[in-house]
Amino acid sequence: MQKLGLGQAVNQALREEMRRDPRVFIAGEGVGVGIHNSPMLPTDGLVEEFGPGRVKDTPVSEAAIAGLAVGAAEAGLRPVVEIMFNPFFTLASDMIVNHAAKLRYLSGGKSSFPLVVRMKSGAGFGAGCQHSHNLEAWAAHCPGLKVVMPSTPADAKGLLKSAIRDENPVVFIENMGLYFTPGPVPQEEYLTPIGKADIKRQGRDVTVVTWSSMLWVAFGAAEKLAGQGIEMEIVDLRTLTPLDKETILASVKKTGRLVVLHEATRTGGFAGEIAAVVMEDGFPSLKAPFRRVTGPDIPVPASPPLERFYIPDEEQLIAAVKEIVETGG
Amino acid sequence: MQISADKKIEMLQTMILTRKFEDALAELCKIEGKIPGMMILCTGQEAVGSGACAALEPLDVIITNHRSHNHLLAKGADPGELMAEIFCKSTGCNKGKSGTLHLAVPEVCAPCTTTVVGGSLPIAVGQAFAQQYRQQDRVTVCFFGDGAADEGSFHESLNLASLWQLPVIFVCENNLYAGAQRFDEHARVKDLAQRASAYAMPGRIVDGNDVLAVYQATMEARQSAVTGGGPTLIECKTYRCRGHGETDQQLYQPRDEIEKWQKKCPIPRLSDELVSQGLITPDGLKEMETRAGDIVDQAVRFAEESPYPLPEEALDDVFA
């Protein structure tokens, strides 16, 4: 099987969908000719294959980029636009939140807006808080948007292809740290369904729900805990909205314990939503209190020791798991 | 440019229909419980939408804003379905989801009315991009007010449309007020059309109460757009004779200013001209008014007799 970084997997998905469907075009800042050149980046080489008519470099105009997607999608094209970094979502958010997400509803179901907004996210580059703020919970709070955050290259490819074919607006958030770690990606055509979580590791003692780059933190913690006789089940959410409640509830029913792990800050983070779902629909399954492991409520700092402090790590997850396994019956 | 008698009469009909439609709304919205939400009317500004839309082909697109009734009627939206939507009834064009402020009529290529000031511009750019991408001989007209020209989206959109030479016509309906701010209280430029030059785009100033001038300017902009000439900004100088909405008492608008502009009403301006030129008779004009009144009466009756949507229909239409 081929091994690709997540950015390369995104690149392959874009190529395949652009070859398959002439309605698909991409637009954004530096998607054709960018300031960084690396075969690991998602839009590398696309302008060479598809030309500047379908790979549109835009001015630094996030509202116009997002509006371009909204208008073109309603008109029948399949825009895939890039907002360079997740914090710049704020500049594009009127078009995404007030328009992409709402215009179908406002039309009484007459119009649809099949568009994808790709954004890079994640701390770990010393880039500081205006490039590294994880805002997935904002997008997930908007009815009418689907929010996808892949953790593996294979999922990224299959989910992006599904997102491009989806009739609804999809916010697709890629953790940059995952661009540079190759993983297996099937060569043949496949789609990964949006709205379906994936159990990445089976275990009997505790359910850890996570997504995006934090999956790899969970894997590391799971290996260490296995050595101590604690078997972690890892639910990779993959899609925040629509939320796959069934998979979460079934796993919690099996293990009786729940920890949610995300890189985004704590208060108002999506862990709270998952906790609420389990309190409402899975409370009798719980043998121990719920715990969350998240970034602290601070802007992402730039200095390496500060940034490392921000990003949730294996030790924090192990401590949370042990606490509820040992005290929770 | 020679404008045919039929075209002139069509524009007059649209203006009269809009006026009757909105005069009815001005009364109906005062009745407690009749029409939910705000009521935003365009009395005195009917020439802009009527003239611009008359210059379009059926598959040309319009994207409009909170003061949309004229634009939508001019583009051919069904008055009954519009009225029912304004009443928030299930037979409305959007099944009661949009109400008067967000009317969407994709059947007549008017897929979006946005109440976010400046929201119409980036979406129009996207529609025009799709027209260019598919090499269609079509244009997108974007309606917005003078207030929207102060939003960042205005500048991003004009820049991108010009850069890519998109077939979009930006129609700025400068009614001299953005909310309670007079034009010279929110912009230093004398004419918003000047801002076109910042984006290397033609900027036209048109008497927005002269429907024939609006029509002509739009025709020329359309011709330019479909032959690769890119976008045009047309500033239509007009006046907001009513408040921002019907609950606005216009305390900040001088009485004599309002009266001065009421005398410039675009409807008699055209009808007097057509009568004096013998293109319609006074009886013909009366008949036109009666017919418009009948259409509006029928629309109101349809809206009043229609049921509200069932509460749980609120859950429909979020996702495709």
Q: What is the CATH number of the domain that holds B235?
A: 3.40.50.970
Taking the C-alpha atoms of residue A178 and residue A212, their distance in angstroms, rounded to an integer, is: 8
Give yes or no for residue A329 having a pLDDT over 80. no
A52 and A168 belong to one structural domain: yes
A127 and A254 belong to one structural domain: no
| Closest CA of chain A from B253, distance in Å | 31
Q: What is the mean pLDDT of residues A208-228?
A: 98
Q: What is the mean pLDDT of residues A199-217?
A: 98
CB pairs under 8 A between A and B: 144
Give yes or no for residue A41 having a pLDDT over 80. yes
8 Å CB contact between B215 and B7:
yes
A251 and A285 belong to one structural domain: yes
DSSP symbol at B238 = -
A212 and A179 belong to one structural domain: no
B313 domain-assigned: no
User: What pLDDT, on the 0 to 100 scale, is given for residue B166?
Assistant: 98
User: What pLDDT, on the 0 to 100 scale, is given for residue B24?
Assistant: 98
DSSP symbol at A156 = H
Beta strands in B52-165 (DSSP E): 61-65, 112-114, 140-145
Q: Do B133 and A77 touch (CB under 8 A)?
A: yes
Residues 50-89 of A with CB under 8 A from B: 53, 56, 58-59, 61, 63-64, 66-77, 79
A72 and A181 belong to one structural domain: yes
Q: What is the three-class DSSP state of B44?
A: coil
DSSP symbol at B110 = B
Residues of B in contact with A168 (CB under 8 A): 319-320
Angle between helices B152-163 and A62-74 (to 10 degrees): 70
- The rounded mean pLDDT for chain A is 97
Q: Closest chain B residue to A63 measured between Cα atoms?
A: B153
Cis, bond preceding A242 (omega within 30 deg of 0): yes
Single-letter amino acid code for the residue at B161: A
Residues 6+ apart with CB under 8 A from A132: A85, A86, A87, A121, A122, A123, A124, A125, A300
**Residue A108 backbone class (left: φ over 0; alpha: ψ -120 to 50; beta: rest):** left
Taking the C-alpha atoms of residue B317 and residue B308, their distance in angstroms, rounded to an integer, is: 16
Give yes or no for residue A327 having a pLDDT over 90. no
- Write out the catalytic residue numbers of A: 131
Query: pLDDT digit string (tens) for A243-302?
Result: 999 999 999 999 999 999 999 999 999 999 999 999 999 999 999 999 999 999 999 999
- The tokens for B210 are 């002269």
B60 domain-assigned: yes
CB atoms within 10 A of CB B285: 18
Q: Do A109 and B320 touch (CB under 8 A)?
A: yes
Q: Do B320 and A61 touch (CB under 8 A)?
A: no
A19 and A51 belong to one structural domain: yes
User: Which member of B92, B106, B156 has the closest CB to residue A111?
Assistant: B106
Give the rounded distance of the alpha carbon of A136 from its chain centre: 8
Q: What is the mean pLDDT of residues A29-52?
A: 95
Give yes or no for residue A328 having a pLDDT over 80. no
B204 domain-assigned: yes
A31 and A164 belong to one structural domain: yes
Q: Look up the CATH number of the domain holding residue A316.
A: 3.40.50.920
Residues of A in contact with B159 (CB under 8 A): 59, 61, 64
The answer to whether A99 contacts chain B (CB < 8 Å) is yes
| Closest CA of chain A from B252, distance in Å | 30
How many domains does chain B contain in total?
A: 1
Q: What is the three-class DSSP state of B47?
A: helix
The whole-number mean pLDDT for each consecutive block of 10 residues of chain B, a chain of 320 residues, reads: 95 98 98 94 98 98 98 98 98 97 98 97 98 98 98 98 98 97 97 98 98 98 98 98 96 97 98 97 97 98 98 97
A263 and A315 belong to one structural domain: yes
User: In which residue are the tokens 């709070």 written?
Assistant: A141
ipTM over 0.90: yes
How many domains does chain A contain in total?
A: 2
Taking the C-alpha atoms of residue A6 and residue A18, their distance in angstroms, rounded to an integer, is: 18
Residues 6+ apart with CB under 8 A from B140: A71, B60, B61, B62, B63, B124, B127, B128, B131, B166, B167, B168, B169
Whole-number Cα distances in Å, A165 to A95, A147, A157: 20, 15, 13
DSSP per position, B169-207: EEEEEE-SEETTEEHHHH-SSS-GGGGGGGGT--EEEEE
Determine the structural domain holding residue B281 and report its residue range: 5-306
Taking the C-alpha atoms of residue B86 and residue B104, their distance in angstroms, rounded to an integer, is: 11
Q: Do B320 and A103 touch (CB under 8 A)?
A: no
Determine the structural domain holding residue A101 and report its residue range: 2-185
Whole-number Cα distances in Å, A192 to A91, A150, A157: 30, 10, 8
Taking the C-alpha atoms of residue B232 and residue B218, their distance in angstroms, rounded to an integer, is: 9
**What is the percent of chain A with per-residue pLDDT over 90, rounded to a whole number?**
98
The answer to whether A228 contacts chain B (CB < 8 Å) is no
Q: Do A68 and B126 touch (CB under 8 A)?
A: yes
A190 domain-assigned: no
